[in-house]
Every structure is written in structure tokens, then in C-alpha cells.
Structure 1
Amino acid sequence: MRASAVKTHQAQSLTQVALRQFRKHPLAVWGLRILLVLYTFALFAGFFTPYDPNYYELYPPKGHHPPTRIHFVDPETGRLSRPFVYATKRSIDPISLQPRYEEDPSQGKFYLRFFVRTPEQPYTILRVFRSDLRLFGVDPPGRIFLMGTDNFGRDLYSRLVYGGQVSLTIGILSALVSFVLGLVLGGIAGYFSGRPFALSLPLQAWRGRGLLLGPLSWAVWGGLAFGALYLAWAYYTLTGLGVLQILAALAALWFAYFLARTLPFRPLLLDPDNLIMRLVEIIAAIPTLFLLISLRAVFPTNVDPLFTFYLVVGLLGFIGWGGLARVVRGIVLSVREMDYVQAARALGASDARIIARHVLPATASYIIVSLSLTIPGFILGESGLSFLGLGVTEPYTSWGLLLQSAQQGGFASFVDRPWVLWPGFFIFVSIMAWNFVGDGLRDAFDPRRRQ
């Protein structure tokens, strides 16, 4: 009996063992459940929300409407009833000058209905399937605002669910971009470390295959030298003569002199490891938020909102790949000396095949864990950019953009209308859930932590 149990335990794959260990982490399991709920709501946002995120009424105005109270007891009979809401009437508080809403039973009861059709407010799922079926709603002129409204009278619950589409999707897409860059560049840096390649060919190597590559490499480097001299001259003509202009001219002249002494006599060698790691150090030396704002400022703020979405994804992914590249480089440096890698090289396998089939798979467990721990940072990065007005723009919405709208209300957002702070709660919950899942995956893939 014991031998059979041992045999069954040994027959389990790494995925089965990791899944069994993951289930023993209660916080990770709950974090995964929360993420499943959040992403399900984001995927089917149109179905789970009663209104379009940009829908509002000019009259009667509903700006800063508090959450609608749902009644389950009929006040006339005192008995349980179908859930219903009352219409509200608006007035202005004479002291705070803030809008005040009171229930108006004289307009009747508006019963809560499920699986309602809203042909005037259709939506799409994944921009492919078109529908107008919504989970719940009330008959007009009644309105139901589960989390109140914003300053324009738009349903905050609907905007929160649609905002999750942007914030949660940007977190995953940016992580994928950064991980592709980190894996590829880190793998190249580790595998080709100590194996520099020639960027130019000297005169004596122009024979044969160098007859084309030699002049071409000289033309490229000569163009770079000429461009450096031209930039130094343009800098001087634009700003006049000064210390910085002299330093720029000396640097350009030294670069041209170095090329003139090197190109005819010996090749220019470049180690991919040095190039990639120096680039990582440059990116890491610049504060992340400052780098994000600087890169975003290169593009105009009035570009197409959809382009802004992809722009934010690219910017977040571009600045987040350095840490992964460092770790992948270290793993690849050790894996490339393993016997099975040396055997593949001896059998004539190409470098690309060895990297793709033998080296990078060795980083899989670390990649899975690191991916789950990186996504929360990108969600925060998008929220910060949108909060500063440099991220997603209308008509799209995100949790950071909703927080920016709440911040514009000043101290009144905390005192008179605290429901506008719901986006901060959802940012907190999603980040904590991803961190719990990351901790669980780290314990599941770490043999020293298995129980």
C-alpha cells in the first residue's frame, strides 16, 4: 500500500505538484478567486452594468447622485416585496451649495428587473459580439445607481466596471511586452556573453564576403560620425558658444577620430552582453515615474484615445523589462554550460534552436512567478499616468482616470460624496489579489517550501 502511494506521488508532473501546493495557500486561492471575478466583470462589462459608461441625462441632472437605496419591504403593507427603488428629486443645500437628492414616492415604485433589453444602449463583447442584454435595470424614468454618479451624472458603477477593462488589461499586456523583451534580450545577453561580433570589417578583410559588408559597415559608422558632428554644429548655432557646446563638439570630434583610427586597421567588436546590460543600467538609473512622464510627453496629448491605450501599454512594457533581463541573463549563463546544452551544440543545433528549446525553458518557473508579481506594478503605473492626465483619455475610462475626477472635487470628495473614491478601493483589491497569487506561485514552484 505504501509502495503504491509512493509510486503515485512520484508519477506526478511538476504542474500537478505545483497546483497541489498552490491549493495549500489560502490567501493565494482567495486572490485567484477575486481576480476571476474582476476579470469576468471586465470581460462582460456591458452585461453586468445597467448603463453605458458615458450615458447621462441633461434634465433632470443627476450629478453627484448618492448610491440608490434599494427597498425590499413595501412601506404601505410592511411586507417583503420585489426589490424596487424610488425616483429622486434634486435640490441645492443652502449652506454647502452641494446638490441634495431626496426620494420621491409620489412618482411610484420602479421595480428591479433582471435580464432587460436596452436597444438604445447596445454594447459589444471583445469588439466582436453585439448585444443589448443587461443583467439588471429599472424602467424609465426610474434610475438605479449602485455606487452613485460622477459630476456629469454618469453611473459610477458602470464606469468602474468598464474602467476595469482598461486597467486590468493594460496590466497584463504591459507585462507581456516587458517579458518578451526581457526574455529575448536577457537570453541573448547570457548566451552570447563573451562572444563579441564584428560591427565593421578592416580593409584587409574586404576580400570575398567582405566586399559588400566592409563598405556598408564603413558607411554606417561614417554616417553616425557625420551625424554627431552635425548635431554638435546645430547645437552651437542654436544656443551659441558655451561650455556645453565645446564639450559636445569635443565628444563628436573624438568619436570621428576614433573611427578614423580604427576602421581601416581592425574590426569594431561588440559584446551583446555589455550592450544590453549597459542599456538596462541606463534605464534603471532614471526614476520610473520621471521616465514615464518624459516618454509620454514626446507624444501629443490630443492623439486618438485608442492609440493612447496602446501607447501606455508600450511605455510601461519598455521601462519594465530590465529587471527580468538581468535575472534571465544570470540563469542562462549557468544553463548554457549544462551537459545537455553542450550535447545539443555538438550535434549541430543552431544557436536560435538551443536558446528556444533548451535554455529559455529553464527559466519557466521564475517567469511564471515574476509575471504575477509584475502585473500589479503596471496597474499602478497606468493608474498613476491616468491620474496625472497622461494616460487613457475619454471616451475610454480607467480606475486612474476616475480617481483624477474624484481628486478634482477636492476635500468635498471625502466629506460630501465619498462614493467617488471607489476606484481606489478596486485598485487596492486587484493589486493585493495579484500579490497573493504571486506569493502562492512562488511557494508552489520552490521545492524548499513544499509541504
Structure 2
Amino acid sequence: MDALAPKSESLFQVAWAQFRRHRLAVWGGRILLVLYFVAAFAGFFSPYDPNYYELYPPKGHHPPTRIHFVDPETGRLSRPFVYATRRTIDPVSLQPRYEEDPSQGKFYIRFFVRTPDQPYTIFRVFRADLRLFGVDPPGRIFLMGTDNFGRDLFSRLVYGAQVSLTIGILSALVSFALGLLLGGIAGFYAGRPFVLALPLRAWRGRGLVLGPLSWLLWGGLAAGALYLAWTYIRLTGFGFFQALALLAALWLAGFLVLTLPFRPIQVDVDNLIMRLVEVIAAIPTLFLLISLRAVFPANVDPLTTFYLVVGLLGFIGWGGLARVVRGVVLSVREQDYVQAARALGASDGRILARHVLPATASYVIVSLSLTIPGFILAESGLSFLGLGVTEPYTSWGLLLQAAQQGGFASFVDRPWVLWPGFFIFVSIMAWNFVGDGLRDAFDPRRRQ
């Protein structure tokens, strides 16, 4: 009889089977796999270094190179090849114009070419110079044209995917780490305030003297209040309102030093964390990002800027997850298995990590897939405003900023510079499709 019994499946096996039935989600996953694979091996898939350009002959705003498959001399199919181009200036618009120059011969596209003059690294560990395709110099192949400096836009798009796509995942991981931790703590300890017995008399008899910590805490706040009042008087001069500010600062300092050190401090972790979430949510996201970014110097190292953007995006995005996780934990902590673990002597940390937070796994997976595209858009917006990733690194938002500087001509004369916007749209849609598929897969009411 046991052999005829149906084989039980785990939650993730059932969710995976349901996810595969969602065609848009499957195609979105395939698109993301291609994008991330190409971004991971950007040096191999790009024909040139993203910052490589030629001073002479200049190639600024070169249109996409035309690839020929038919030999004009014989009229038969041949190996793909390109022609060199000749640059002229349009006498009316004064814009560069490029024409094919067959007199220099054909430049056949070759695969798996070596470029020892333009090496690259894989994951910043392995050094290589093998590229998927290329042409022999002086021929050039620009699949998506060039920017205003003559740099290959396809190579810059591939390298920009490394930054834009990676920032989305890293920022989401930072945000979810904060949201899970703080939301779990807020829900688990809701209604259980901590009493910090810092006053000296509260520790009397225990052999510990932690009273000075209380004096240090409240004395520091009192000194800060007096310093602010003194700075206000020094900048504005002494008058009636300045005297009132000084009296208020003296009263506050006396209250902090003479009263609060003799009282135990009671902290409600749930109330503290949720009020912080409300403060962050009350400030517009873009304004908060710009304000936090302005705190740091504008000329910091580009790699430091990358990690700075990751940290800022993760810091402002954890509040919504913390709210939901808190609500889930409030209900889960009253379940019988949690109470049984507490009765067996399990510590709060073990109960939270092993029994409470895993109950939020399905929501976290779905929310993570729907949050990543928001971070990709946020990074693109910051870079577009000049507050994100800086040269020599590149991102899709930075490429769009360069396209915006061309004005209306970017739409009329050189529309190929708008390719970064297309890839942002595709990646966002793919992540949304994957998120929709995961939401349906983990929802028992939608299972087939």
C-alpha cells in the first residue's frame, strides 16, 4: 500500500511546477538569464574596451555598422564583412556623416579573436583578451553605433549591464537583510519593552558600576543642547530671543543631567523601529536619495561611489518589508510550535532564526523579485541626474544622461544612443514577469 501512495512534494517543488506553467514568467526568467550571463562575461561579448576610442580618424556619433552578407562583385553569399567608413561634415546641419569606403577593401567578421592591446578581467580575478567577435584594423564594427567620443555603444551597454543589474540585486539584498532583521525583531519583541537600568543605584549590589554610562549619555545630550544655543547666539548676536534660547537650553541641560540619570530607561523596540520606518516613508524617495548622496563628496573614487549607491538604495528600501515581516511575525510567534520551542528552553535568537523568520520565506522571495526592478530604476535615475555611478565605470542611466545631453538631435539624427532605455525597459518587464509568476506559484488559491 505504501508503494501506491502519492509521493509528497515540498512547498518549493510545488511552487516550481506552478511557476513553469506561467509562460510570461518563464520567458522573463530566460531573458534575465541571458542578460546576467552577458553582463558577467562582458569582456568576452564586447568587441572593444568600453572606454576605447580613436582620436584620428574620429568616430563620434558613428551610426551602427552595416553588415554585408552578399559579395557585390559576385552576387553570391559570403562571409559577413563590413567596409571602412569615411567621415564628412554635412554642410547644412554641420553634423558628422559617415559613408562606406569600399576602396579600403572588405573586413571580414572573425570569431574568437585575441585583443592583447585591450585585455579585460573576469570577476576581477582572471585576466583574458579573448573576444567573441571582431574585425581586423583599421576596420571597425559598431553594432549599435558610437557615442559622442566615438566609443562603441554596444560594448558600453554590455559593461553598463554589470553595474545596473548588479546594483539592483545587491541593493535588494541589503534592503531585505535590514527589513528581515529589524521587522523580525519588531514583531517578536512587540509589547515586551526592554528596561535599561543604567542608573548607579539600579546596579548597586550586583558588583557592577554602570551608572557612569547614564551620566555620559545624558551629559552628552545636555552638552549638545548648550552647544546649539551658543552657536545660535554667536551667529545672530545676543538679544531677547537669544536669551530665551539660552534659558531653554540651560533648563533642558539641567533636566537631562539632574533628573534622567536616576531613572531607568525603558525602550520599546517595536515602537522605535516602526517610528523610524514612518520617518523614512514620510520623505519622498528621490529627494531622500539626492539628500543622502549630497552628504558625501562628489569626487569620491568611482568604485566607492558604486558601493555608496548600493548602500543608499538598500537603506531607504527596507521599511515596507519590515512592516510586512512584523505583521507575519506577530501572528507566527503565537503558534504552538513556537511556544513549544520556548518551553523547551530555546533562546529568542534561535526561535527567531529557526522558527519565525522562515515562515516569511514565500513572501520574501516574491517581494524580492518585485523590488529589484525598482532599484534598477532608482540607480538609473540617480546616474541620469549625475549622482550615481561615474566614469570610468558606466551604467545604463549614465548612458541615457549622455544621450540627453544631445538634446532633440538624439531622437532625430542619432536614435541609436537611446538603446540603454530599451534595455532598462526589457529588464524591468522581465523582472516583473518573474515576480508575477512567483506570486502565483506561492499563492495556494491560484494553483492549478
TM-score by length of 1: 0.95
Q: Which moved more, 1:237-246 or 1:35-44?
A: 237-246
Whether 2:194 is the aligned partner of 1:197: answer: yes
Superposed displacement of residue 201, structure 1: 3.2
Q: Are the equivalent residues in 1 in contact too, given 2:187–2:329 (CA < 8 A)?
A: yes
1:206 matched residue in structure 2: 203
Q: What one-letter code is carried by the residue in structure 1 that aligns with 2:147?
A: D
1:56 matched residue in structure 2: 53
Q: Are the equivalent residues in 2 in contact too, given 1:201–1:263 (CA < 8 A)?
A: no
Whether 2:390 is the aligned partner of 1:393: answer: yes
Among 31, 38, 43, the alignment partner of 2:35 is 38
2:344 matched residue in structure 1: 347
1:21-420 matches, cutoff 5 A = 21-209=18-206, 211-240=208-237, 252=249, 255-256=252-253, 258-260=255-257, 262-420=259-417
2-structure distance, mates of 1:244, 1:26: 69
Q: Are the equivalent residues in 2 in contact too, given 1:200–1:263 (CA < 8 A)?
A: no
C-alpha distance after superposition, 1:356-395 (max 9, x if no partner): 1111111111110000000001001100010000100000
Superposed displacement of residue 254, structure 1: 6.1
2-structure distance, mates of 1:133, 1:101: 29
Q: Which moved more, 1:253-262 or 1:333-342?
A: 253-262
Superposed displacement of residue 211, structure 1: 3.6
2-structure distance, mates of 1:245, 1:52: 62
Q: Which moved more, 1:358-367 or 1:223-232?
A: 223-232
2-structure distance, mates of 1:157, 1:326: 42
2-structure distance, mates of 1:250, 1:277: 34
Superposed displacement of residue 224, structure 1: 1.8
2-structure distance, mates of 1:89, 1:24: 53
1:7 matched residue in structure 2: 6
Q: What one-letter code is carried by the residue in structure 1 that aligns with 2:303?
A: L
Q: Are the equivalent residues in 1 in contact too, given 2:84–2:139 (CA < 8 A)?
A: yes
1:441 matched residue in structure 2: 438
2-structure distance, mates of 1:14, 1:180: 23
Q: Are the equivalent residues in 2 in contact too, given 1:201–1:210 (CA < 8 A)?
A: no
1-structure distance, mates of 2:219, 2:381: 43
Superposed displacement of residue 200, structure 1: 4.3
Superposed displacement of residue 259, structure 1: 3.1
Q: What one-letter code is carried by the residue in structure 1 that aligns with 2:61?
A: H
Aligned residues: 448
SS at match of 1:135: strand
Superposed displacement of residue 194, structure 1: 1.2
Q: What one-letter code is carried by the residue in structure 2 that aligns with 1:329?
A: R
Q: What one-letter code is carried by the residue in structure 1 that aligns with 2:34?
A: V
Q: Are the equivalent residues in 1 in contact too, given 2:215–2:261 (CA < 8 A)?
A: no
C-alpha distance after superposition, 1:243-274 (max 9, x if no partner): 99789767755653553564355312110011
2-structure distance, mates of 1:105, 1:247: 85
C-alpha distance after superposition, 1:26-79 (max 9, x if no partner): 110000000000000100000001000000000000000000000000011100
SS at match of 1:39: helix
1-structure distance, mates of 2:249, 2:287: 28
Q: What one-letter code is carried by the residue in structure 2 that aligns with 1:150?
A: D
1-structure distance, mates of 2:321, 2:241: 36
Q: Are the equivalent residues in 1 in contact too, given 2:69–2:78 (CA < 8 A)?
A: yes
2-structure distance, mates of 1:275, 1:242: 38
Superposed displacement of residue 242, structure 1: 8.6
1-structure distance, mates of 2:94, 2:315: 47
SS at match of 1:323: helix
1:55–1:7 distance in 2 versus 1, CA, 3 Å: same
2-structure distance, mates of 1:262, 1:362: 44
SS at match of 2:66: coil
2-structure distance, mates of 1:428, 1:250: 59
Superposed displacement of residue 346, structure 1: 1.2
Q: Are the equivalent residues in 1 in contact too, given 2:222–2:257 (CA < 8 A)?
A: no
Whether 2:17 is the aligned partner of 1:20: answer: yes
Q: Are the equivalent residues in 1 in contact too, given 2:199–2:210 (CA < 8 A)?
A: no
1:118–1:406 distance in 2 versus 1, CA, 3 Å: same
Q: What one-letter code is carried by the residue in structure 2 that aligns with 1:343?
A: A
C-alpha distance after superposition, 1:148-172 (max 9, x if no partner): 0000000000000000000000000
Q: What one-letter code is carried by the residue in structure 2 that aligns with 1:100?
A: R
TM-score by length of 2: 0.96
State the identity as a percent.
Answer: 86
1:450 matched residue in structure 2: 447
2-structure distance, mates of 1:404, 1:143: 25
SS at match of 2:209: helix
Q: What one-letter code is carried by the residue in structure 1 that aligns with 2:6?
A: K
Superposed displacement of residue 212, structure 1: 2.1
Q: Are the equivalent residues in 2 in contact too, given 1:200–1:218 (CA < 8 A)?
A: no
SS at match of 2:334: coil
Q: Are the equivalent residues in 1 in contact too, given 2:370–2:435 (CA < 8 A)?
A: yes
Q: Aligned-pair RMSD on alpha carbons?
A: 2.0
